[in-house]
């Protein structure tokens, strides 16, 4: 009997993370779902098969201790981790480099960059064991220049992390994929954007990458909304 693979997702309580959890469950994955609020994950846990199929973990990705505990709980519960989706992130606020609240910058940088680094550090030993798949949520904003955007700067950093960890892991059997969405209609925005991708669209990109045979390494998937018809 084939062992069902395990996918760990940070930032799993809503948006891209939650939709990826749903898509992965349909493909037979057992799930480790992590977010700052474990309470928000409980409904998703019940929806996707209960405790036997889904482990929920309260985890602030800025905390190395909490990320270590997340991995320890995953291995204790399921015995393996086959895919890690480092998806947790947050946006900034208006004001550009001249006027934005630097405390918002600090939290965003620690979540979007430091938190991703901690996820890699704590999850890679388990991925080495399974020759698994590492996926990171970058952004189209990490490939272009956006005036006054510290958020864009953090996503440029995520791109650099993706390139760098791929080279570090070369020959290990671990595949690395940068998922780079354009604008997506998620709780990230106070008001739903008029012309945007859906979280399900990005979940489909994640599942495309992990569904490829072992000899195929999808390095990057850049997904933008189709331009509006004039």
Which helix (H) or strand (E) covers residue 223, if one does?
strand 220-223
Paired with 220 in beta bridges are 178
DSSP assignment string, 135-160: EEE--GGGSS--TT-HHHHHHHHHHH
Cα(179)–Cα(159) distance, integer angstroms:
9
CB atoms within 10 A of CB 149: 18
Cα 150 to chain centroid distance, Å, stands at: 19
Of the residues 29, 114, 151, 208, only one is catalytic, namely 151
Q: Would you state the structure tokens that stand for residue 96, as one six-digit string?
A: 């550009």
Active-site residue, 151 included? yes
**Dihedral sign from CA coordinates of 62, 41, 204, 6:** positive
Backbone angles phi, psi at 31, to 5 degrees: -130, 145
> In whole angstroms, how far apart are CA 96 and each of 14, 82, 109, 182, 217?
27, 39, 15, 20, 37
- Collapse the DSSP code of 33 into the 3-class scheme (helix H, G, I; strand E, B; otherwise coil) and give the result: strand
**Residues designated as active site:** 151
């Amino acid at each position: 009997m084939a062992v069902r693979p395990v996918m760990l997702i940070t930032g799993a309580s809503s948006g891209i993370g939650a939709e990826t959890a749903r898509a992965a469950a349909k493909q037979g994955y057992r799930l480790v779902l992590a977010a700052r609020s474990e309470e928000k994950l409980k409904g998703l846990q019940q929806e996707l098969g209960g405790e036997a199929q889904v482990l929920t973990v309260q985890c602030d990705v800025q905390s190395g201790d909490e990320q270590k505990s997340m991995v320890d709980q995953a291995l204790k519960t399921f015995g393996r981790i086959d895919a890690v989706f480092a998806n947790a992130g947050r946006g900034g606020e208006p004001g550009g480099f001249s006027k934005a609240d630097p405390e918002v910058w600090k939290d965003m940088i620690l979540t979007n960059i430091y938190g991703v680094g901690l996820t890699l550090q704590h999850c890679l030993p388990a991925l080495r064991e399974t020759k698994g798949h590492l996926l990171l949520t970058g952004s189209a904003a990490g490939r272009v220049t956006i005036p006054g955007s510290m958020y864009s700067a953090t996503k440029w950093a995520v791109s650099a992390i993706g390139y760098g960890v791929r080279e570090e892991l070369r020959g290990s059997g671990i595949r690395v994929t940068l998922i780079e969405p354009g604008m997506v209609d998620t709780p990230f925005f106070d008001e739903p954007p008029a012309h945007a991708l859906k979280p399900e669209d990005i979940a489909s990109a994640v599942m495309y990458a992990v569904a490829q045979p072992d000899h195929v390494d999808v390095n990057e998937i850049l997904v933008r909304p189709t331009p509006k018809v004039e």
